[in-house]
Amino acid sequence: MTGLNMKSAEKLQVVNYGVGGYYRTHHDFQPNTARKSANGSRIATVLIYMSNVEQGGATVFPLLNVTIWPKKGTAAVWYNLDSYGNNNNITLHAACPVLLGSKWAANKWFREAGQEFIKPCPLHKETRSQ
């Protein structure tokens, strides 16, 4: 799906939110103080929606003005780091409270290790691509 190396990825994390369940705004990348953690920081996130939600439960990116409504069998993919490995702060996101129903989702977090040749760091700023 992403073409990224899965060897360094974290185990799939399944989450369930009941009514009122939410996740405050956050970034998925590691704080700079913890960048030396195993396999580096979380380069990308794949968020798989495993259920529909009757009301509420959207994933929102307030700095991008993007709202994603959970739909069973769909997934959202985004890069938490830019091509240089810097934190991409605009990926700030949150899970809005579930108002009615239940939300099942699964997170796959890809780490930096092993992505060097798949997503190489550009040598010059001019050649930067995302």
Any residues with CB less than 8 A from the CB of 126 and at least 6 apart, and which? none
Q: Nearest CA to 13 among 53, 57, 45? A: 45
- How far apart (Å, rounded) are the C-alpha atoms in residues 31 and 38? 13
Report the site for ligand AKG in 20-39 (rule: CB under 6 A): 23, 28
* Residue among 65 and 127 whose Cβ is closer to Fe ion: 65
Binding residues among 84-123 for ligand AKG as defined by CB under 6 A: 93, 95, 105, 107
Residue 88 beta carbon to Fe ion: minimum distance, rounded to whole angstroms: 13
The DSSP letter of residue 81 is B
Query: 19 and 69 in contact (C-beta within 8 Å)?
Result: no
Instruction: Report what 95 binds from Fe ion, ligand AKG, none; CB cut-off 5-8 Å by kind.
Output: ligand AKG
Least distance from C-beta 63 to ligand AKG, angstroms?
A: 14
Least distance in angstroms from the C-beta of 120 to ligand AKG: 26
Which 8-state DSSP code applies to residue 112? S
- List binders of ligand AKG among 60-79 (CB under 6 A): none
